[in-house]
Amino acid sequence: MSEDSQFRFGPATGIGSMPGGDAREAAKTVTGSFEDFPFLPELPARGPGADMIGRTAGMLVELYARVEPSGWRIGDRPGRDTRRARSWLGEDLDALEEFTQEYEGPLKVQAVGPWTLAAGLELRNGEAALSDPGACRDLAASLAEGLRLHLAEVRRRVPGARLVLQLDEPSLTAVLRGRVRSASGYRTHRAVDRQIVEATLRDVVGAHGGGPVVVHSCAPDVPFALLRRAGAAAVSFDFSLLTERDDEVIGEAVEGGTRLFAGVVPGTDGPLSDPAGSVMGVRTLWRRLGLRPGLLPEAVTVTPACGLAGASPEYARAAYAHCVRAARSLADNPE
């Protein structure tokens, strides 16, 4: 087994985004809910620069982005939008540091992965960076360097933490299948070669210096095998989107030591079933794959299906508590 497969992940955690705009309140909620596996909250409701693409654009090294009516666009120099993104990230880190004094254990930080970033950032001509192979390479290199600096900063602030890097790649399947729309909306950008996608991901995964990386996508048809080959120690996904045709790759992933971050709790307000009911599908999958029940808590981290930016603060707290109870149910009754 690889070094990453020996890493002790927590039994439950969140995806990243949360409702509201108060960094201290978010950090307090996360550290109080997930005592064994907190994460750095993201609060996109604050506006441009706190959104997923803008936040990660603020981490880039020697590449800058600004907000245009059509979205984030690469520019020549750091402007107001870059400063705002970095300021909010600093605020979030201050809050996390305050609530993780003396903490020792896994701690997750999130950033957009290279392919979703290439699909979401525009070049000067208004087309996605995805349309230009050279721009994709530059973006991935800048992101990798930015992530190294970001991880070093989190280590400085929370020295007892064992960092987990999450790369958010909701557009990855669309990139692989040529489904990312052009600026006009009348055509799509051609599919990127799978080997190039894999090699680029591997380079960015390497920014964590051998530490564990989880790749998250709440889109259908997550490419589990490609992500494993690229070096992901774990894959995070919306469990409700799995089909039986995913069984084989999931079985291979688990047997190869890849951890599953199973998104079983809805990301928007609604009634929550009992915790055991939420993970019933995970147990059923395990039986179908013929995997040893005792392996469940070692192989699965329970999460919401996606980020909770669209949820109410009350639901977010309830969903996190539900994830923790559902993970305990898996550990206590794996059969």
Q: Give per-residue pLDDT as tens, 304-321.
A: 999 999 999 999 999 999
Q: How confident is the model at residue 333 (pLDDT cuts 50, 70, 90)?
A: confident
Q: Tokens in use for 158?
A: 């929370």
The pLDDT value given to residue 5: 47
Q: Give per-residue pLDDT as tens, 133-184.
A: 999 999 999 999 999 999 999 999 999 999 999 999 999 999 999 999 988 8
Q: Tokens in use for 41?
A: 């909250």
The answer to whether residue 12 sits within a structural domain is no
Domain that holds residue 169: 23-332
Q: Is 136 exposed, middle or buried (0-12, 13-18, 19+ CB in 10 A)?
A: buried
Three-state DSSP at 237 gives strand
Averaged pLDDT, 183-196: 92
Q: Is the model's pTM score more than 0.75?
A: yes
Mean pLDDT of the chain: 95
One-letter amino acid at 320 equals Y
Q: How confident is the model at residue 4 (pLDDT cuts 50, 70, 90)?
A: very low
CA pair distance 56, 115, nearest whole angstrom: 12
CA pair distance 269, 304, nearest whole angstrom: 12
As separate numbers, helices (DSSP H) first and strands (DSSP E) second, the chain gives: 13, 9
- H-state helical runs in 7-79: 23-33, 52-57
Q: How confident is the model at residue 1 (pLDDT cuts 50, 70, 90)?
A: very low
Q: How confident is the model at residue 6 (pLDDT cuts 50, 70, 90)?
A: low
The pLDDT value given to residue 289: 94
Pick the closest to residue 151 from 202, 108, 115 (CA basis): 108
The pLDDT value given to residue 89: 98
Q: Which residue has the tokens 């979030």?
A: 92
Task: Assess contact for 165 and 213: CB atoms under 8 A.
Answer: yes
The answer to whether residue 102 sits within a structural domain is yes
pLDDT higher than threshold 80 for residue 2: no
Task: Assess contact for 85 and 58: CB atoms under 8 A.
Answer: yes
Q: How confident is the model at residue 76 (pLDDT cuts 50, 70, 90)?
A: confident
The answer to whether residue 262 sits within a structural domain is yes
Task: Assess contact for 64 and 75: CB atoms under 8 A.
Answer: yes
Task: Assess contact for 67 and 48: CB atoms under 8 A.
Answer: yes
Q: How many domains does the chain have?
A: 1
Count of positions (residues) in the chain: 335
Could you tell me the CATH number of the domain that includes residue 143? 3.20.20.210
The answer to whether residue 2 sits within a structural domain is no
The answer to whether residue 92 sits within a structural domain is yes
The answer to whether residue 29 sits within a structural domain is yes
Q: Give per-residue pLDDT as tens, 242-269.
A: 998 899 999 999 999 999 999 999 999 9
Q: Give per-residue pLDDT as tens, 200-220.
A: 999 999 999 989 999 999 999
How far does CA 259 lie from the centroid of its chain?
Answer: 14
Three-state DSSP at 146 gives helix
Q: Give per-residue pLDDT as tens, 25-37.
A: 999 999 999 999 9
The answer to whether residue 11 sits within a structural domain is no
The answer to whether residue 42 sits within a structural domain is yes
